[in-house]
Amino acid sequence: MIAVGEITPKQEEVLEVCTEALRRAEKMIRPGVPLCDINRAGFAPFIEKGYLNDDTTATMPYNWAPNDDLSATEIPLQYVEDVDLERMGRKLMHVYPPVVGPHNPNLGHGVGMHGNPDKFNVTSHNTEVCRPGLAFVLHPQWLVPMESGANIGNCYVVTEDGYENLTCHTPIETVRIKP
């Protein structure tokens, strides 16, 4: 994540919760560990800060959830002024998810080539265990529409004695740019 200029205390908090979630989940990666345990470790900071009651995927709020009656939730659009873009006859409209929470109710997902049988999500109900060669992304995320949000993540492969971070050249700490 990149923070440009001063950010609000709530934005700082969301960044830290997502970063801590990734740190804790990453510590769990090794052969024999169930993916649900990695999910639990990753969502612990969200529970500790009061963002979530538990790490149960089935009951977790998420940004694109339907209304309680299962009708579609209206997705707000907001005009974002961009002089350079408008000079070319275009207009920038930002789509904002309407619900507080993560983008999806999971901590991550498998990666691989098309047709790869290892398609999975890192969720509370996925009891598959890590094994050498299993590759996946962890990306703790949280959004408070129009206020704050973060998505911190890395790609991993399980090794014989732990894991390798395949995105090791990208820091999980927030990069801060002064205006």
- Determine which of 10-19, 53-62, 97-106, 146-155 has the lowest per-residue pLDDT on average: 97-106
Helix (H) or strand (E) holding 13: helix 9-27
CB 12 within 8 Å of CB 29: no
Q: Which tens digit of pLDDT belongs to each residue from 54-79?
A: 999 988 887 777 778 888 777 777 88
Does pLDDT of 102 surpass 90?
no
**Is 77 inside a domain boundary?**
no
Task: Give mean pLDDT, residues 8-15.
Answer: 95
Q: Where are the beta strands (DSSP E) in 91-133?
A: 92-95, 108-110, 121-122
CB 128 within 8 Å of CB 117: no
**Is 37 inside a domain boundary?**
yes
Does pLDDT of 115 surpass 80?
no
- Determine which of 26-30, 35-39, 101-105, 129-133 has the lowest per-residue pLDDT on average: 101-105
- What pLDDT is attached to residue 69? 87
Encoded tokens for 174: 């927030």
The range of the structural domain enclosing residue 169 comes to 2-63+99-177
CATH number at residue 38: 3.90.230.10
**Is 79 inside a domain boundary?**
no
For residue 125, CA distances in Å to 18, 73, 174 come to 21, 26, 31
Does pLDDT of 37 surpass 90?
yes
- Residues of 26-55 as b/e, b for ≥16 C-beta within 10 angstroms? bebbbbebebbbbbbbbbbbbeeeebbeeb
**Is 7 inside a domain boundary?**
yes
**Is 73 inside a domain boundary?**
no
**Is 72 inside a domain boundary?**
no
Does pLDDT of 151 surpass 80?
yes
In 3D, which of 154, 142, 113 has the Cα closest to residue 29?
154
Query: What is the reported pTM?
Result: 0.85
**Is 89 inside a domain boundary?**
no
**Is 131 inside a domain boundary?**
yes
Q: Which tens digit of pLDDT belongs to each residue from 82-93?
A: 898 899 999 888
Q: Give me the number of domains the chain comprises.
A: 1
Q: What distance in Å separates the CA atoms of residue 23 and residue 153, rounded to the nearest whole number?
A: 10
For residue 10, CA distances in Å to 6, 27, 143, 146, 166 come to 12, 26, 11, 12, 30
Q: Give me the residues paired with residue 95 across strands.
A: 77
Q: How confident is residue 119, by pLDDT bands cut at 50, 70 and 90? A: confident
